Structure 1
Amino acid sequence: MALNIEVLGPQRHQVGESPLWSVAEQALYWVDIDACRLWRWDAASGRIEHWSTPERLACIALRTEGGLIGGLETQLAALLPQPGGELQTLPLASVTHPQPGMRFNDGRADRDGRFWAGTMVRNMALASPAGQLYRWDSHGLSAPLMDGFITPNGLAFSADGRMMYISDSHPSVQAIWRYRLDADGLPRGGRELFVDMTQHPGRPDGAAIDVDGCYWICGNDAGQVHRFRPDGKLDRSIALPISKPSMCSFGGPQLDQLFVASITPAKPAPGFDASLDGAVLVLSPGTQGLAERPCSAPVA
């Protein structure tokens, strides 16, 4: 499916990730993980600004108290962007990883404002299943709720909050699962294979849910975004001019724009526009998304 695709600004990123639309601010936030930067685009003025982070910042969510909550290398922290490029970073919880060289990766708030984030070994070539999934809620940071991930990705939650989606994008796995959540929002029962991504172009990276309950996921390395129906059937695929889309998120005044962050590959991929590698793309896919729920993340 071919659509008009726009580029959000001239900046290019090493590892662009976690686009996040703030309805209250009418602004988009996102991160460049390896550059240790947080970015923001104001829709009204068109202004783009950024802040440096003390560690690699991989995932973000809105915070009810103002600012953001972010998953870095060794901690979750409240992030308070200030004028002039200063970023206040207020620790919320530290994490002891099971092995060296790890960081947080994909993360997202659920429908009740609890922040979920997975961890990974930065060197994907090691294929280490040391990744774990945590949740931040009113009780603080949980113990790991799941483990065994190499590269956890694709976190998303159904509109009614009863289903959680998660993937492992490592080339040796490439699967998307879903879990039913109980009244406390915790996974109960075994995981269900939602999509075997070895049967579709691209590795499963970041994802979003639309108003129809369909699951949108970036096909990393294949330059596509796929939409899967709630029954796991492929509904459509959108070709992009870049090879490594990393995460998508709905935003805009009507929540009908799809923002797609991307990664700059180690070398340009044939058949794609290398000048757009690492860009944030914007398209209108003909449906709407769901507003992101802010998290309560008070600082002690």
Structure 2
Amino acid sequence: MSAPANPRVERVEAAGQAPALVGESPVWRVAEQALYWVDIPAQKIVRLVVETRERSEWLLPEKVACIAFDRRGTVLAGCETGLFAVTLSEISTDATAQAVRASEPVEVTGRKLAAPVFPCGDMRFNDGRCDRQGRFWAGTMVQDMAAANPAGALFRFDAQGVLSAPIVDGLITQNGLGWSPDGKTMYLSDSHPLRKQIWAFDYEVETGKPSNRRVFADLNHYVGRPDGAAVDSDGCYWICANDAGALLRFTPQGKLDRQIAVPAIKPAMCAFGGRNLDTLFVTSIRPGAGANEHDGHLFAVRPGVSGLPEPEFAGEL
């Protein structure tokens, strides 16, 4: 499949007219043909069945920043105080219920699975996803980005329910997790304006241990800040260039080979989905001031390359 020179970027109107404050962590569920994502400060998980335009929302007791699923459909959620198992309640599909849920998300609670010892206050989990073997990885950050506090760290939560000690520390705004198709390279970014780095690691698939950390791409030399990411079937790394309204695609050698403009100034994270995993869905953030009509909405682009199914958590929640 040849990549279009300037693929069309469309706003997904079925995702809702009300923009997200901080739209993050899109996850495509192949079994449901549905896209899930979160709105962090709104404490919501959102689901959209793209073909039927059926939309659902669930409200959590605290901020939720990243999600993954186990094989039964239970959500593993990285929140403010720890990692939680969340069962999303069934929602009636009749017309009355659909009208109600458009304005009233269903309230759900979660069971705490694990929590790190936060080195200071006002912290939460941020970007997270499963590696190719189904281990869940997520990082923490100080919520006040202006503080530029490098108290954040990256953690691994395995199928046995054990949360690791910090694997990578000294992070200000952890982001950009991803793995190569063979699982042998791990990617990680720090999106803070003082960092703007993407790193690559050698990754031991049997043990889940990263090593040989090196700079993969220094976004001080490109546009924007490196936010959430996705890896395509060619092994190329797609990163949302926050503050620049763009998607950047880097080859496995760290060379920028594509740049696609999106209408929102702060694209946050991307994920491949659709019937053939050939649609790249992009969530975005609505800035506190100077927002345009597209900021905070969900977008879809057909970049001419397909993605890989999102791995499920290997344990049972």
TM-score bracket relative to the smaller structure: over 0.9
TM-score by length of 1: 0.95
TM-superposed deviation, 1:145: 1.0
Q: Distance in 1 between matches of 2:289 and 2:180?
A: 36
Q: Which moved more, 1:6-15 or 1:242-251?
A: 6-15
Aligned counterpart, 1:181: 203
Aligned counterpart, 1:134: 155
Select which of 272, 286, 294 maps to 1:276: 294
Is the contact between residue 159 and residue 313 of structure 2 (CA under 8 Å) also seen in structure 1?
no
TM-superposed deviation, 1:87: 2.4
Aligned counterpart, 2:37: 30
- Secondary structure of 1:198's partner? helix
Q: Distance in 1 between matches of 2:134 and 2:65?
A: 19
Aligned-partner residue type, residue 55 of structure 2 = I
Q: What is the alpha-carbon root mean square deviation over aligned residues?
A: 1.2
Q: Does residue 223 of structure 2 align to residue 219 of structure 1? A: no
Is the contact between residue 133 and residue 314 of structure 2 (CA under 8 Å) also seen in structure 1?
no
Select which of 18, 24, 28 maps to 1:17: 24
Q: Which moved more, 1:158-167 or 1:65-74?
A: 65-74
Select which of 36, 40, 48 maps to 1:41: 48
TM-superposed deviation, 1:78: 1.2
- Secondary structure of 2:64's partner? coil
Q: Which moved more, 1:78-87 or 1:92-101?
A: 78-87
- Secondary structure of 1:286's partner? coil
Q: Does residue 77 of structure 2 align to residue 70 of structure 1? A: yes
TM-superposed deviation, 1:180: 0.3
- Secondary structure of 1:276's partner? coil
TM-superposed deviation, 1:88: 4.2
- Secondary structure of 1:58's partner? strand
Aligned-partner residue type, residue 6 of structure 2 = A
TM-superposed deviation, 1:144: 1.2
Aligned-partner residue type, residue 283 of structure 2 = A
Q: Distance in 2 between matches of 1:11 and 1:136?
A: 34
Aligned counterpart, 2:127: 106
TM-superposed deviation, 1:45: 1.8
Aligned counterpart, 2:188: 166
Is the contact between residue 78 and residue 297 of structure 1 (CA under 8 Å) also seen in structure 2?
no
TM-superposed deviation, 1:249: 0.5
Q: Does residue 60 of structure 2 align to residue 53 of structure 1? A: yes
Aligned counterpart, 1:153: 175
Q: Which moved more, 1:84-93 or 1:209-218?
A: 84-93
Is the contact between residue 60 and residue 107 of structure 2 (CA under 8 Å) also seen in structure 1?
no
Aligned counterpart, 1:6: 10
Q: Distance in 1 between matches of 2:26 and 2:65?
A: 11
Q: Distance in 1 between matches of 2:175 and 2:304?
A: 25
Q: Which moved more, 1:252-261 or 1:138-147?
A: 138-147
Structure 2: unaligned runs, 5 residues or longer: 92-105
- Secondary structure of 1:138's partner? coil
Q: Distance in 2 between matches of 1:174 and 1:97?
A: 23
Select which of 256, 267, 279 maps to 2:278: 256
Aligned counterpart, 2:95: none
TM-score by length of 2: 0.90
Runs of 4+ in 1 over 3 A off after TM superposition: none
Structure 1: unaligned runs, 5 residues or longer: none
Is the contact between residue 87 and residue 108 of structure 2 (CA under 8 Å) also seen in structure 1?
yes
Is the contact between residue 65 and residue 297 of structure 1 (CA under 8 Å) also seen in structure 2?
no
Is the contact between residue 200 and residue 213 of structure 2 (CA under 8 Å) also seen in structure 1?
yes
Aligned counterpart, 2:94: none
Aligned-partner residue type, residue 120 of structure 2 = Q
